Amino acid sequence: MKTAPGAVPVILVGGGMILVGDTLNGVSALHRPEHAAVANAIGAAIAQVGGEVNRVLSLDAVPREQAKEEATQHVLREGTLPDSVEIVEVEEFPLAYLPGNATRIRVKAVSTLALG
């Protein structure tokens, strides 16, 4: 959907993208994301990339920050922008039946996919 009268960038996704050449009138740039042919909607193609860690840690031996760093590394390995990484969820469940301050920790990070 074009919402401005000037030239705008276009992201091509879906099976019909093969019908579009290298230029279009009124378009400043054409972007074809990796795996765009199988994208079912533009929202799916531009959504942030997520990475999650779900582990049992001994907080006496391993700091919470390690789980956050692991989640961050998950999204960075997927080709995201390092300055856009955000930890969006942290859940901790203490496990009283295990020694060493054992805790099940779940951390979710998101980041913006680097297009280009």
Residues 6-45 have pLDDT tens digits of 898 888 888 778 888 888 888 899 988 887 777 766 666 6
Give the model's confidence band at 85: pLDDT under 50 very low, under 70 low, under 90 confident, else very high: very high
Instruction: Tell me whether residue 99 is in a domain.
Output: yes
Q: What is the pTM of this model?
A: 0.61
Same domain for 95 and 61, yes or no, is: yes
Which residue in the block uniquely carries the two structure tokens 């297009």? 115
Same domain for 66 and 105, yes or no, is: yes
Confidence at residue 48, expressed as pLDDT on a 0 to 100 scale:
86
**Token pair for 3:** 């919402």
Same domain for 59 and 100, yes or no, is: yes
Specify the number of domains making up the chain.
Answer: 2
Confidence at residue 37, expressed as pLDDT on a 0 to 100 scale:
77
Same domain for 53 and 98, yes or no, is: yes
The percentage of residues in the chain with a pLDDT greater than 70, rounded to a whole number, is 91
Same domain for 36 and 63, yes or no, is: no
> For residue 93, is pLDDT > 90?
yes
Write out 13-29 in H/E/C secondary structure: CCHHHHHCCCCCCCEEE
**pLDDT tens for residues 43-76?**
666 678 899 999 999 988 888 899 999 999 999 9
- Residues 6 or more apart whose CB falls under 8 angstroms from that of 71 comprise 51, 52, 53, 87, 107, 108, 109
- For residue 43, CA distances in Å to 11, 12, 58, 101 come to 11, 12, 39, 41
SS3 53: strand
Instruction: Tell me whether residue 2 is in a domain.
Output: no
Which residue in the block uniquely carries the two structure tokens 């680097």? 114
Instruction: Tell me whether residue 30 is in a domain.
Output: yes
Query: Of 17 and 88, which is predicted with more confidence?
Result: 88
Same domain for 39 and 62, yes or no, is: no
Note down the domain range covering 39: 8-45
Same domain for 104 and 52, yes or no, is: yes
